[in-house]
Structure 1
Amino acid sequence: MITELIAHVRKNDDGSWAAPHTLSDHSQGTARLAELFSSKFHSGEWGRAAGLAHDAGKGRLQWQKYLRLKSGYDEEAHLEGKSGKIPHAIHGAELVEHLYGKGIGRILAYCIAGHHTGLPDWSASEGTGRASLQYQKTQVKDLDQIVDSVIEKLLPAKPSHPPWKFTSGLDLSLWIRMLFSSLVDADFLDTEGYMDHVKALHRGGYRSISELLERFNRFCEELDQQSANTKVNEIRKNIRARCIQIASKKQGVFSLTVPTGGGKTLSSLAFALEHARIHQLSRIIYVIPYTSIVEQNAEVFRAAVGEDQVIEHHSNLDEDDTTIQSRLASENWDAPLIVTTSVQFFESLFASKPSRCRKLHNIARSVVVLDEAQLVPVEFLAPILESMRLLVDRYHVSFVISTATQPAFKERVVDGKLFKGLKAVTEIMGNEEDINSLYQSLARNRVQFPNDLNVVSRWEEIAEELKQYEQVLCIVSDRQSCRELHKLMPRGTYHLSALMCGQHRSDIIREIKRKLKDRIPVRVISTQLVEAGVDLDFPVVYRALAGLDSIVQAAGRCNREGELPDMGKVVVFTPPRNSPEGILRKAAETTRSLVMANHDAVSNYVVFEKFFEELYWKANSLDKEGIVALLDPNRNDPGECSIFFRTAAKKFKIMDDSSQKTILVRYGEGDRLINLFKSKGPDRWLMRKLQRYTVSVYNNNFNELGRRGVIEEICPQIYALSSRLNYSEDIGLLVEEAEN
């Protein structure tokens, strides 16, 4: 006879059974946290209802027998009928619709049905079949078996009405996803408190924003005292002071337009911390395009505010929520300072999986800094900008668009067509005249274009030119070009590309900086990963033809500190291999047409608005996968609140991970960490450390490495090099020359 409803069971270290986690305690604990999380966007009663109902399907006699039998908790339990997995989430979803009606119930049903497997599509029309909410609802035949005590707790918890009137587009779907985030994080945390009490104790304990601001101010004072008294450093201090001054303005969208080398990293953090303090916001989220810049900026932030106050979160090794262990290892962004990638941030805003959505509620009441914002993917610009508008309007988020080459994000009419961008953007550095003056004061190099950008240079010619300089950096647009040119260079020339893991790149960049500082000869061939945020300072920089923004970013690595007696030298050339197909190639073509019309185009920051306008309108679409339509119930079936969460998540891929695989490499400490992973499995701190030792390769390279037997699967869908032999200290992971 079952007298107590159970949610979870576990064994003690000695093999005995711990007291069960009761369904009542778990539902109440989850509801309490979900209410707290969703109250940040005025939806506390909705979070509470979702928390109380999420495991209501466990309140059936059949499911209770199933838990006891499958776990071994009650060996005498007898389960009638099928012996396979017995669902529970869809029962809670169906129950809230039954109790609350379709209007309120359907919203909660999406969250509850997906709290383990992910937000579903409404129907199977986009190909998700039996995973659709519509189909799952038809499979619930035993709703009447849920015990009365569960239902009695749900009846008074019915939410009254939504927190605002929804507009068309992404408004409703983003709100549901935020509720979902609040629920799954609450569920994870309450489960963790029972399953792994020690791990739960390690959460939290972070400093307040005010305390971080005090630490940051002390750090800047020490930095200013130690820095040389140069014109560039004086300008950087003035920029930082301007950021602090503007931080008192009301929440919204801000732009920070500062030339490369102007100290945007610390200045934007100064703004974010002061703005967060004034408006009582919870955290600062740095969104950065390249993992290499994430790593570098995270180091700066840790030095400024404390080692344990910063979470560095990449997309690599972001796990599916397939096991309790892997779910508990995923991040919920509960620290005051998050440093993440554009891929992680934007894909999470359109994700359906619990592990990816879990952190979203912590975006509410935050400052989000889009560093190098010009690299936001054009093909998804429409849904990204709409999400940004909603986060500002509904979720108390302030954005800082930080870059030397400000993209054309503002709403405007171009060629008679409305570009639905951001309506109100406050420029921190002042008006156009102020910014032009700033650019002129920080001019430290001259960019030289060939007379005819249609004339192609051979790699051998470029290599001979580079050999003339003792300190020179050459940036190309793809890995294969980087390897080909590097082979033609003298021994000792450094190679930098994403075939090297993050730790390896950091080590090499440290060596390069030391040689530059000590005026030791150093030549570097690199992909564009050094182009943004990596503060190298060469007297001469070569750049293969690319987007105008990329060329300016490359120039930011030339005479960065302004210490040369004359201007630095930046040489643009047309390489033998075109930029990769797609937007990168269109950007290079746009540059070619602008520069051939005006060779001085790069000297005026105003030209970037024209560059980005042209680039955006050359794009085939600013929503190539139709994301907005998939997530707008008004475009599908309004009566059913028809939203296609799972299909949209599958299609919103900034990086097409279906064409790439991630490999853990045995560079440096990576060797020991991989072996530790093999013995311990996916632990949270270990997964974080291993992010520094990952390399992503195309599927053809991955398959070839597998055929040669040099990689092993150390955990489901996690692969590692089996030895050090296939990783070079010079160029990183050794792959076949089969990449495009």
Structure 2
Amino acid sequence: MTINSSIAHAAKNPDGSWRDPHDLLEHLSSVGTLAAAFAEQYGSGWARLAGRWHDLGKYRPRFQRYIRLASGFEADAHIKGEAGKAPHSTAGAVLATDRFGSAGRVLAYLIAGHHAGLADWFGGLEGRLGNADSRDELNEALAENPPAELLDAGDFKPDLRAIPGGKSGFSLWVRMLFSALVDADFLDTERYMDPDKFAWRNCWPVLSELARLFDAHMANVAATAPPTPVNALRADILRQCREKAAAAPGLFSLTVPTGGGKTLSGMAFALEHARAHRKHRVIHVIPYTSIIEQTADIFRSIFGEAVIEHHSNAESDPERENHASRLACENWDAPVVVTTNVQFFESLFAARTSRCRKLHNLVDSVVILDEAQLLPPEFLQPMLDVLNLLTQHYGVSVVLSTATQPALSTRAYFDARQNLRGLDNVREIIDDPDTLYTKLERVQVRLPPDWQARTDWSQLALELAAHDSALAIVNTRADARALWEQMQVHDKGTLHLSALMCGAHRSRVIADIKTRLKAGVPTRVVSTQLVEAGVDVDFPVVFRALAGLDSIAQAAGRCNREGRLANKGEVVVFVPPKPAPLGLLRKGEDACRSVLHGITEQPLARTRFADYFERLYHACELDAHGIASLLEVDGKELAVNFRTAADRFKLIADEDSAPIVVRYMGEDGQDDSIDKWLATLRKDGPQRWLMRKLQRYTVNLHRRDVAKLLAHGDIAEIIPGLFVQVSDVLYHPTLGLDPDGSPHGSTSLIV
């Protein structure tokens, strides 16, 4: 490039010398080409033009002076775009509306948002486009005579009649275009700024290669599995999944009782379906962060490093992201992604660039929603809307995998507010689920003789102690602590599991439980419901506090799981001392009482779950935060509330909880790894590999409890939004973090 050429970015070589600057025309052309390729199936022309015009404002002299002199060629000049540092992201947006009128607002959303994220129209983008400074930005850029080929829209004609899903699909379509733009921008910037990192991208094996690894693994499993009736049924489930995979893409259900091998059979379906229909990746979505590691480990043991695991237990404040942390955010270009409901669905409704970046890679993928019954009712309607759009217009196949299929078909009620726009073309993979359930029935469920009579913890502890090995599952962390304390009278070796324990601690206890059960060592465990999803333990007796019917079924899946008992396992449902907290838990408990009232036989019969979920959903507001209306486009103005919808779509209310890194030192208290990682965090700041390490030592706590611990000096804020244990007695070796804090005067500073 010539010395007078306009610059997009500048960077130093490792030896400190300045490399040739990143030519602006080259950057805009490359981003346009890459964005168009990403959006090939749903709007390549829109994406190409957004890419070519997204940094048009960088032609203005103010930006060129800034990048050549004022910024010192800092890397973050591209990413931050703070006020006063030569704004440049509005010029292309104004040009788009000048050229194409109201249709140009689609491009304006993308271009104006490529740093700060998608904005609301009213109170946001509308005012910004009409601002005199924005007009000046465009005029100053055009005065520098950008290349004519850059400004030429060619044969592009904006056609809003071709939007995937029409008016109902507008907001998702804009987010998909936005994803194509911002990922292309990040990648082309990375290619210049960090060529070594860029060189590592797109080195993944294709799914057909992974299918061969999977087939070899499953052949080995079949050859070494004991010849039990349960294993024979698992093999048949696997066979059916493979045979049904040739079916046309769309919506599927995989209805298999707990312990039936859904995880691996679901992957078998996904790989075969991908092979038959040229899908590019498999995305396995899990409800709880607490179990994502073990599922990812299962797949990693088969596929090696072709698996990415994406969740966010220990992220720094997103408002303080920098160039390094944004580029480190996964864009889901791997062939196998294991993620959480939070990450998956919040990304689909996001406005931030780092969250939206991955969306275009959902196109032509297979998505497995594991434990689909745990989709939160208060967001159910917008979730179902987006699943319909993905399957109908973006080549996505979705598998609803669960032992207790929720009632997700369309329903209309006299009160229209209770209506559900559901999933109406779901095909079941299993030939005869009812027969399968009968064959896999391994437990006898004992219901309370009196639904009004409550069982106190001391009484339950006595019953639990009467069994050599038993599992008790309760509804809250406080209940788990109370029952565990009562068990100390009978068995001081009683184990405990709850989300007050960090992931490393829980994993160690779960491994200990499995080892003890396999060796026939008496094992009594008190747990919250986290044990009900993805934790493959096998007890002869399980006690379950009254809860939703799906939770009772999941608890039953931890009893006689392998069918090795001479008789059926025993599941005892009891009414705890206090009702479940108000909200979803209470509504689930009430719906369960209603469905099981007067029932004496087969309380977990498969046919009862549709009735249960209909009652549960009827008691809930299925779009409690008004997401669907916020994302409904105004046909005249193309007005959408992207930012407000994203802020409201929080499956876990960020403002209600905060992460605390605890000093869990291993079973013997001698493992000082956490201290080393915390020292690195203090010295070097957040790095993705380090934050992933810290995730395993993180406990989320309500902010009111965090504030109390902070005031008492039990914790400290190590980086904005992330706290660390200070008191050396705050973390109990069995119970985990004590939300009430350490006894007064017992702290010792360790940070």
Q: Name the CA shift for 1:416/1:734 in 2 (closer, same or farther; >3 Å).
A: closer
Residue pairs, 1:178-193, within 5 angstroms: 178-193=176-191
Partner Cα distance (2:130, 2:435) in 1:
63
Pick which of 115-124 and 61-70 moved more: 61-70
Q: Is the 8 A contact 2:447 2:573 kept in 1?
A: yes
- Match in the other structure for 1:50: 50
Give the 3 Å change call, closer, same or farther, for CA 310–481 of structure 1 in structure 2. same
Which shows bigger deviation, 383-392 or 697-706?
697-706
Which residue identity does 2:127 align to in structure 1? Q
**What is the match of residue 141 of structure 1?**
135
Structure 1 residues 158 and 348: CA distance shift in structure 2, 3 A? farther
1:157, distance to aligned residue in structure 2 (A) = 4.8
Contact 1:287 1:369 survives alignment (8 Å): yes
Distance apart, 1:675 and its partner CA: 2.3
Question: What does residue 127 of structure 1 align with?
Answer: none
Deviates more, 1:86-95 or 1:672-681: 672-681
- Which of 296, 307, 312 aligns to 2:309? It is 312
Deviates more, 1:520-529 or 1:240-249: 520-529
Q: 2 CA distance for matches of 1:716 and 1:326?
A: 14
**Structure 2 equivalent of residue 678 of structure 1:** 682
Structure 1 equivalent of residue 98 of structure 2: 98
CA distance in 1, matches of 2:412, 2:705: 45
Runs of 5+ in structure 1 lacking a partner?
A: 75-81, 125-130
How far residue 206 of structure 1 moved from its aligned partner, in angstroms, is 1.1
Mapping of residues 141-540 of structure 1, within 5 Å: 141-142=135-136, 143-146=138-141, 147-150=144-147, 152-157=149-154, 159-160=156-157, 161=159, 164-165=162-163, 167=165, 170-306=168-304, 308-318=305-315, 320=318, 322-413=321-412, 418-430=419-431, 434-489=432-487, 490-540=491-541
2:62 partner SS: helix
CA contact (8 A) 1:34 1:186 kept: yes
1:186-239 C-alpha deviation (Å, 9 max, x unpaired): 111111122222222222311111111100010011111111110000000000
Q: Identity of aligned pairs, percent?
A: 48
**Displacement of 1:496 after TM fit?**
0.8
Paired residues of 2:445 and 2:602 also in contact (CA < 8 A): no
- The amino acid of 2:625's aligned partner reads E
Contact 2:315–2:722 under 8 Å retained in 1: no
Q: Is the CA contact (8 Å cut-off) linking 2:469 and 2:540 kept in structure 1? A: yes
Instruction: Provide the residue aligned with 2:17 in structure 1.
Output: 16
TM-score by length of 1: 0.93
Q: How has the CA–CA distance of structure 1 residues 415 and 632 changed in structure 2, closer, same or farther, with 3 Å as cutoff? A: closer
* CA separation of 1:51 and 1:725: change in aligned 2, threshold 3 A: farther
Q: Assess if the C-alpha contact under 8 Å between 1:501 and 1:694 holds in 2.
A: yes
Q: Specify the code of the residue in structure 2 equivalent to 1:97.
A: T
| Root mean square deviation of aligned Cα | 2.1
Kept in 1: contact 2:289–2:340 (CA 8 A) = yes
Which position in structure 2 is the counterpart of 1:727? 731
Mean Cα displacement is larger for which, 454-463 or 726-735? 726-735
Change in Cα spacing, 1:473 to 1:714, as seen in structure 2 (3 Å) is same
AA of the residue aligned to 2:731: Y
- Distance in 1, Cα, partners of 2:463 & 2:171: 55
Task: Specify the SS of the correspondent of 2:525.
Answer: strand
- Given the alignment of the two structures, is residue 111 of structure 1 paired with residue 114 of structure 2, yes or no? no
Match of 1:547 in 2: 548
Name the counterpart of 1:60. Answer: 60
Q: Supply the distance in 2 between the matched residues of 1:722 and 1:152 (Cα, whole angstroms).
A: 60
Q: Give 1:504 deviation, angstroms.
A: 1.7
- TM-score calculated relative to the size of structure 2: 0.92
Contact 1:328–1:684 under 8 Å retained in 2: no
Specify the code of the residue in structure 2 equivalent to 1:408: A
**Using the alignment, how far apart are the partners of 2:334 and 2:323 within structure 1?**
22
For 1:477 and 1:150, locate their aligned partners in 2 and report how far apart those are by CA, in whole Å.
65
Matches of 1:100 and 1:546, distance apart in 2: 56
Residue aligning to 1:128: none
Partner of 2:646: 649
Query: How far off its partner does 1:735 sit?
Result: 2.0
Q: 2 CA distance for matches of 1:218 and 1:475?
A: 37
Q: In the aligned structure 2, how far is the partner of 1:416 from the partner of 1:231?
A: 48
Q: Is the 8 A contact 1:113 1:133 kept in 2?
A: no
Q: 2:615 is paired with a residue of what secondary structure?
A: helix
Equivalent in the alignment of 1:703: 707
CA deviation after TM superposition for structure 1 residue 590, in Å: 0.7
Alpha carbons of structure 1 residues 170 and 661: separation in structure 2 relative to 1, 3 Å: farther
| Closer, same or farther: CA 55–234 of 1 in aligned 2, 3 Å | same
What amino acid is the match of 1:274?
E
Task: Determine if the alignment matches structure 1 residue 597 to structure 2 residue 609.
Answer: no
Separation (CA, whole Å) in 1 of partners of 2:200 and 2:535 = 33
Are the counterparts in 1 of residues 310 and 338 from structure 2 also a CA contact under 8 Å? yes
Structure 2 CA distance for partners of 1:378 and 1:11, relative to 1, 3 Å? same
Of 659-668 and 526-535, deviating more is 659-668
* Local SS of the residue matching 1:352: coil
SS in 1 for 2:337: strand
> Cα offset for 1:378?
0.6
How many angstroms apart in 2 are the aligned matches of 1:478 and 1:562?
29
Change (3 A) 1:481 1:173: same
**Alignment correspondent of 1:79:** none
Kept in 2, the 8 Å contact 1:665–1:671? The answer is no
Secondary structure of 1:179 counterpart:
helix
Where 1:101 maps in the other structure, the secondary structure is helix
* 1:687 to partner: Cα distance: 2.8
Secondary structure of 1:267's partner? Answer: helix
Query: Which residues of 2 match residues 574-653 of structure 1 at below 5 A?
Result: 574-600=575-601, 602-619=603-620, 621-634=621-634, 638-653=635-650
Partner amino acid for 2:135? K
2:163, 2:170 within 8 Å by CA — same for their partners in 1?
no
Aligned-residue offset at 1:685: 2.6
Q: SS in structure 2 opposite 1:603? A: coil
Distance (Å, rounded) in 1 between the aligned partners of 2:684 and 2:161: 45
Give the whole-Å Cα distance in 1 for the aligned partners of 2:474 and 2:423: 33
Stretches of structure 2 that go unaligned for 5 or more consecutive residues are 75-81, 666-672, 743-751
Aligned to 2:28: 27
Amino acid at match of 2:205: R
How many angstroms apart in 2 are the aligned matches of 1:30 and 1:166? 23
User: 2:638 and 2:443 mapped to 1: Cα distance?
Assistant: 56
1:552-592 deviation digits (Å, cap 9, x = unpaired):
00000000000011110101111112223212210101111
Quote the offset at 1:240 in angstroms.
Answer: 0.4
Q: Is the 8 A contact 1:372 1:402 kept in 2?
A: yes
- Assess if the C-alpha contact under 8 Å between 1:726 and 1:733 holds in 2: yes
Amino acid corresponding to residue 281 of structure 1 in structure 2: K
| Equivalent residues, number | 715
CA distance, structure 2, for counterparts of residue 167 and residue 395 of structure 1: 10
The answer for the alignment partner of 2:79 in structure 1 is none
Q: Matches of 1:159 and 1:219 in 2, distance apart?
A: 50
Cα drift, residue 442 of structure 1:
0.3
Alpha-carbon deviations, 1:488-529, whole Å to 9, x = none?
113221111111122221111111000010010111111111
Secondary structure at 2:435's aligned position in 1? helix
